[in-house]
Amino acid sequence: MKAGIVLLLIAMSTIIFASACSGDDAPAPDIETQVRDALAAADIEGQIREAVEATDIETRIGNAVATAIAAVNAGVPIPTPLPQEPGSFRTQAQVIQDVYRKVTNSVVHISSTVYTVDSFNSPVPRTGTGSGFVLDNEGRILTNNHVVEGAQLVEVTLADGTILEAEVLGRDPFSDLAVLQVDVSPGQLLPIPMGDSDSLLVGELAIAIGNPFGLDRTVTTGVVSALGRTLDAPNGRTIANVIQTDAAINPGNSGGPLLNADGEVIGINTAIFSPSGGSVGIGFAVPVNTAKRWVPEMIQFGRARHPLLGVSIANVNSRLAEELNLFSEEGVLVQQIAQNGPAHMAGLRGGTSQVQIGNIVILAGGDHIVTMNGEPIADTDAVTVFLDFKTEVGKTVDVGIIRNGQEMTITVTLGELPQ
């Protein structure tokens, strides 16, 4: 069939060429007759008939239609192509460039200075650096708590080189976040929009911008490598729902934004796993929804008011449940109760005797917590997430427990976790 089309094209081009080269005095050729003769010579109709018979198009179409009908009857969803606006396709490089242009002037360099005294009683400054980004038009900057913790002097360098002394407006050591305040005129700072870390998917583009090793506004890229990680904050408390990324994060990136393809903040870069001290492709960011939860409290109270239950707890697993004759392999076992704390005042009980299971020593005999406000509690991380994101200081929580084989509910009025 292709040969016939080629012959037809050659024949038609010959006719057109001959017509174009004819002089004014030459008789006009009968173009319609010549085209009809060329089509007949190429036998296009016969070639199409032979191609259809050879490939049995009718049978193939029938089979495809039958398959589609069967899929619909079986309830299988048929994908619908998304509409594509003309010119809307962008390469990954263009996406990164667009994001960088959009937010780079909103990323700041933070230096913190701590003064110590040497053997001659003279002050000796020690300076650290980190990153941060603009929260709003009122001069507020978000960064990591460990970037500014204990500093006597904090300075913020803007994209235009302006250096401003900053006040630490609020800190949250438990989520490793801090809010700074700088004195600028309205409109001088451009905030970065906040995304939604709960809607992230593994494999999404991740863009980190910060100041690694003091190199201002460096961009590195990767993907969201994993979700739901846990990370110990510098004060030892667990940060939940941490984002893992392979975008290069190095010393100095702390406090800078991790962004999605739309230029929205999805996390605050905070830590790396590295035997060398540099990036090996395993970095961690505090999810932006954690910042959304605690930033308003840091601004209002100067701290994040985390709810306090007032217990130390241990995870329950199948071996522990078997050894201690527990009625569930999930939940947490109360180890100790803080004296006069919320749990103590409500009547929760801690362990009474030490038991060694494998290489772990645990206190047995305490209450086995299995639900909070009716929600199943799988482990210690679930307790942290519930307290931080589903309740508040001063609220009451119905703690479902198993004590001596009996299910019961104890209502606890939550306190505030000391800083």
Q: List, by residue number, the catalytic residues.
A: 146, 176, 254
Collect all residues with Cβ–Cβ distance below 8 Å to 189 and sequence separation of at least 6.
Answer: 106, 134, 136, 137, 139, 158
Collect all residues with Cβ–Cβ distance below 8 Å to 347 and sequence separation of at least 6.
Answer: 410
Reduced 3-state DSSP string for the chain:
CHHHHHHHHHHHHHHHHHHHHCCCCCCCCCHHHHHHHHHHHHCHHHHHHHHHHHHCHHHHHHHHHHHHHHHHHCCCCCCCCCCCCCCCCCCHHHHHHHHHHHHHHHEEEEEEEEEEECCCCCEEEEEEEEEEEECCCCCEEEECHHHHCCCCEEEEECCCCCEEECEEEEEECCCCEEEEECCCCCCCCCCCCECCHHHCCCCCEEEEEECHHHCCCEEEEEEEEEEEEEEECCCCCEEEEEEEECCCCCCCCCCCEEECCCCCEEEEEEEECCCCCCCCCCEEEEEHHHHHHHHHHHHHHCECCCEECCEEEEECCHHHHHHHCCCCCCCEEEEEECCCCHHHHHCCCCCCEEEEECCEEEEECCCEEEEECCEECCCHHHHHHHHHHCCCCCCEEEEEEEECCEEEEEEEECEECCC
8 A C-beta contact, residue 177 and residue 144? yes
Rounded to 5 degrees, φ, ψ at 229 are -70, 160
For residue 50, give the amino acid letter: E
8 A C-beta contact, residue 415 and residue 342? yes
